Structure formats: structure tokens, C-alpha cells
């Protein structure tokens, strides 16, 4: 609450000639002498009242003394307006037919295009295969490799009669995208391949994956095999809850059951923060990728479908997201000003400060400068002031909306 100065009453303009006629000198002298003492007393009282009010406000103050109730709105720069206009749209330089960028911690889609359109998923199909195996459990159960499992293209390198655990086959499924591991796991789970595919489609329905339908467990091109970026994000989020899944898809290379495995995800080890998850490539699907990126402790997923150069597209999408959105740690920083100073009933000087840190706040970059701190004081009763005592709350506001809070406490310098 700002302190408003009280101006003295305005003097009524005086017409000199009229004053002389209406108030002859002899009458004015007698009247002025009679009224001078009360006027002086009135002015002295007014000055004393103002001084007392100023002292009271500086020493104690009402709960909202320290800051204006609503922060002044900040205008956007030309650059910020351009960021706002471009946010949510993929860069024009990418070739992907469908994209989606999602921040897991903020639970927010940052960029998308054709994300709800069904497309051939290629080996991203194996995410549903992995989900069914993980949900069933029993990963230490052993599986005998049969001849019918040994299909071509990407493989784990299995041989007929080999004995592996379901967990070892999961490594072969997700690291080198082994088609042989996919068929072995499907047969192990349901006994027959077509029964496993039925279970895949039933699980897709249970999850509400409207654009998803499976014909096989490995992702070979087939009429009717389809999924969308939105549906694949649902699968990825479910799988990300399994520590074993995160470990496997974040591994660039491994030796499992005597088989050297090299990840098909070329971002691992080459792009800062890359920590998964899966690639897919077929003639009908083109190049596909779900990339997991750790951004300063926050998880980002980038989904690229139908691309001609998936890694270029992924990098461009990450850069676009970084340019438009960011996590911010709100802090007033170390400071000591007159606004932090308070006095108790004994005129002992105290200071007030925010305790701890706010949770990181996810904001578009053009909104970051709109966030302002506002201190709402709720001081202890007289006689109960002590170091660490609660003194109110620091509100971080964007306009009238409170987006974060911190506890205010008293302390001695």
C-alpha cells in the first residue's frame, strides 16, 4: 500500500482590489489577530499527525505494505511476440509427416503436427510388445528359441534351440530392435502369434488408442498396421514407469546372453541428455523415432514419424522447443533493502526473507518476464518475534494468478 502525501488545502484566489473594499485595513488587522492562534495550532496538529502516520507505516505496516497489490504489466518485445506466434509449430525445415514434442514433468505438449493421424509405426510396434511382457512379469522365465522366430532384417542374432530369459529377450527387442526377439516373446506370452496380436489390440482398446491397430508384434509393413504420435506417446509414458525399460532403452551397447547388442538410436552418446527410447524404419513408414531427452532433470519426448532424416528433425524440434519453453527457478536472490526491514514493538530491527526455493515453474519464454514477486506480510503478535518465525508469504504472480509461493520468515542480520 503506497503512502500518499496529503497536500494542504488550495488557497482561494484573492482579488486585491475587492479585498480592500470589503475588508478595510482596520477590520482586517483585528480579524487576523483574533484568528492567528487557532490556525497555527491546526497546522502543528496536522504536521504531527502526518509524522506519526509515517513512523507507524515504516515501523510496522499493514499486511500488504511492502508491495503493490497487482504488479505492473510488462509489455512484450518484438522478439517475444515472434516467439509466441511461432510456438507450437514445427520448423519448416523438417521432413517428418507427423511430430509431437512433450514435456513429461509439465504434462504439456509443446509442438505437434498431425499427431493424431494414423501411420505405419514400423518397429515402434515393439513398444506394445514390450509393455505386454513387462505387465505380465516373470522376466526370469526361460524361453527356447524356435525356427519360426528367426525372421530377417534387424535381429538379436538368436539361433534355434537357444535358451534365454524373457528379460534377456527384452534387451534384444529394444536395443538392436530384434525381430527374432519379438516373435520369441510373443510366442512365450500367448503360445501362438495370432493370440498375442489379439492381446496387443485388446490392450490398445483398453488404453483408448484410437488410431492404433496391430497385425504383427515386430512392426513389419502390413495392411492395417497403424498408430499415431499421440497413441505412441501414451505407450511411451506407460513404459517409462518401468526402471528396467528406461535402463534398456538408454543403453547404447551391451553384451547379453553372449550376443553383442548395438542400439539403433544414434542419439545415445552423441546428443546431450539423450536417454532413449526407440527407432523404426520400413518402406511404408519411412524413418521414425521416439527420442527421450533429459533437459536439466526434466524429461522430454520427441516423436518423429514418416521422416527422411529423423535425427535432423529431432534436433530441430528440440531446438524449437528450447526456444519457446523453459523451466525457471524463481528467486528474489540475496538482497537487503529498506523494504526488507521491520521493527517490533520495542523498536528492535528485524529483516524478512523468503525461505527455501520454489518448485521449478514451466513457462513459455515470453511469459517468464511477466512473473513478479509480491510479499504478503502476516507478522507475529508483539512479544513473539523470533528468528525463523513466520512473517507471511511471498507470492509469485503472473497478473492476478499466483503461480508459486514461498514462506517468509524473520531473521536478524
Catalytic residues: 123, 126, 177
Nearest to 153 by CA among 183, 126, 119, 180: 180
Longest dimension (CA), the chain: 131
| Cell output for 238 | 506407460
Separation CA 376–CA 67 (nearest Å): 8
Q: What angle do CA 122, 128, 132 make, to 5 degrees?
A: 150
Nearest to 97 by CA among 124, 117, 111: 117
Helices (H), 23-88: 25-59, 78-86
> What are the backbone angles phi and psi of residue 165, rounded to the nearest 5°?
-85, 165
| Cell output for 394 | 511471498
Q: Assess contact for 145 and 123: CB atoms under 8 A.
A: no
Q: Burial-class residue 375 by CB neighbours within 10 Å (0-12, 13-18, 19+).
A: buried
Alpha-carbon separation of residue 232 from 102, 141, 211, 293 (angstroms): 12, 28, 10, 16
Neighbour count for residue 187 (Cβ, 10 Å): 20
H or E, element range at 186:
helix 179-190
Give the DSSP letter of residue 119: B
H or E, element range at 184:
helix 179-190
Amino acid at each position: 500500500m503506497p503512502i500518499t502525501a496529503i497536500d494542504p488545502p488550495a488557497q482561494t484566489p484573492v482579488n486585491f482590489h475587492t479585498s480592500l473594499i470589503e475588508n478595510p485595513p482596520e477590520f482586517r488587522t483585528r480579524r487576523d489577530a483574533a484568528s492567528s492562534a487557532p490556525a497555527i495550532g491546526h497546522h502543528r496538529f496536522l504536521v504531527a499527525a502526518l509524522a506519526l502516520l509515517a513512523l507507524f507505516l515504516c515501523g510496522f505496516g499493514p499486511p500488504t505494505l511492502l508491495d503493490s497489490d497487482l504488479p505492473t504489466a510488462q509489455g512484450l518485445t518484438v522478439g517475444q511476440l515472434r516467439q509466441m506466434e511461432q510456438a507450437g509449430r514445427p520448423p519448416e525445415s523438417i521432413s517428418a509427416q507427423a511430430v509431437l514434442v512433450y514435456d513429461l514433468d509439465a504434462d504439456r505438449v509443446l509442438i505437434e503436427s498431425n499427431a493424431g493421424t494414423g501411420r505405419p509405426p514400423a518397429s515402434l510396434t515393439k513398444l506394445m510388445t514390450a509393455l505386454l511382457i513387462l505387465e505380465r512379469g516373470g522376466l526370469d522365465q526361460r524361453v527356447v528359441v524356435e525356427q519360426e522366430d528367426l525372421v530377417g532384417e534387424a535381429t538379436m542374432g538368436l539361433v534355434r534351440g537357444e535358451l534365454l530369459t524373457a528379460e534377456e529377450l527384452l534387451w534384444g527387442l529394444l536395443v538392436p530392435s530384434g525381430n527374432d526377439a519379438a516373435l520369441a516373446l510373443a510366442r512365450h506370452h500367448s503360445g501362438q502369434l495370432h493370440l498375442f496380436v489379439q492381446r496387443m489390440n485388446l490392450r490398445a482398446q483398453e488404453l483408448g488408442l484410437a488410431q492404433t491397430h496391430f497385425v504383427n508384434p515386430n512392426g513389419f509393413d502390413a495392411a492395417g498396421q497403424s498408430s499415431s504420435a499421440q497413441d505412441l506417446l501414451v505407450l511411451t509414458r506407460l513404459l517409462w514407469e518401468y526402471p528396467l525399460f528406461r535402463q534398456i532403452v538408454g543403453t547404447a551397447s551391451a553384451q547379453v546372453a553372449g550376443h553383442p547388442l548395438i542400439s539403433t538410436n544414434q542419439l545415445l552418446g552423441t546428443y546431450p541428455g539423450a536417454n532413449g527410447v526407440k527407432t523404426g524404419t520400413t518402406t511404408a513408414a519411412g524413418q521414425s523415432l521416439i527420442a527421450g531427452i533429459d533437459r536439466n532433470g526434466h524429461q522430454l519426448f520427441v516423436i518423429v514419424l514418416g521422416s527422411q532424416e529423423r535425427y535432423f528433425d529431432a534436433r530441430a524440434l528440440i531446438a524449437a522447443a528450447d526456444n519457446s519453453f523453459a523451466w525457471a527457478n524463481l528467486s528474489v536472490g540475496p538482497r537487503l533493502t529498506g523494504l526488507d526491514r521491520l521493527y517490533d514493538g520495542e523498536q528492535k530491527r528485524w529483516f524478512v526473507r523468503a525461505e527455501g526455493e520454489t518448485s521449478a515453474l514451466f513457462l513459455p519464454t515470453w511469459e517468464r518476464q511477466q512473473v513478479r514477486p509480491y510479499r504478503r506480510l502476516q507478522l507475529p503478535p508483539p512479544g513473539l518475534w523470533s528468528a525463523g518465525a513466520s512473517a507471511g508469504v511471498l507470492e509469485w504472480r503472473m497478473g492476478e494468478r499466483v503461480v508459486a509461493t514461498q514462506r517468509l520468515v524473520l531473521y536478524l542480520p
